[in-house]
C-alpha cells in the first residue's frame, strides 16, 4: 500500500504543479482543493488537526500560511476516498 500511496502522491504533486505553477498553496487555494471554506481551514489550523503540514510566514497572528505541495499531496493521498 505504501508504494501505491507514493505513486498517488507523485501524481498529485505533478497535477498541482501544473495547475498552480508553484511549490506552495495559499489557504484560499487549499480550501478550493479540499472543497471547504477558508473559515473552516482557519478553524482546522487553530485546532491543529485535519490539514496538511504548513509553514507560517511571520510572527504576527495574521501571518501568511503556506502549504508545501508535497505535504498537500501526502495528505490527499492518505485521505482520498475510493469508490
Task: Output the pTM of the full model.
Answer: 0.84
For residues 36-72, b (16+ Cβ closer than 10 Å) or e, as one string?
eeeeebeebeeeeeebbebeeeeeeeeeebbbbbbbb
CATH number for position 57: 1.10.10
Domain that holds residue 72: 2-79
Residue 58 has pLDDT above 90, yes or no: no
What are 17-52's pLDDT values in tens digits? 999 999 999 999 999 999 999 999 999 999 988 899
Residue 10 has pLDDT above 80, yes or no: yes
Instruction: Quote the number of domains for the chain.
Output: 1
Amino acid at each position: 500500500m505504501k508504494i501505491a500511496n507514493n505513486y498517488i502522491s507523485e501524481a498529485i504533486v505533478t497535477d498541482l504543479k501544473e495547475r498552480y505553477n508553484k511549490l506552495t498553496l495559499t489557504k484560499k487555494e487549499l480550501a478550493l482543493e479540499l472543497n471547504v471554506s477558508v473559515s473552516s481551514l482557519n478553524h482546522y489550523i487553530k485546532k491543529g488537526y485535519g490539514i496538511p503540514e504548513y509553514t507560517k510566514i511571520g510572527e504576527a497572528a495574521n501571518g501568511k500560511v503556506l502549504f508545501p505541495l508535497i505535504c498537500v499531496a501526502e495528505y490527499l493521498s492518505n485521505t482520498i476516498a475510493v469508490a
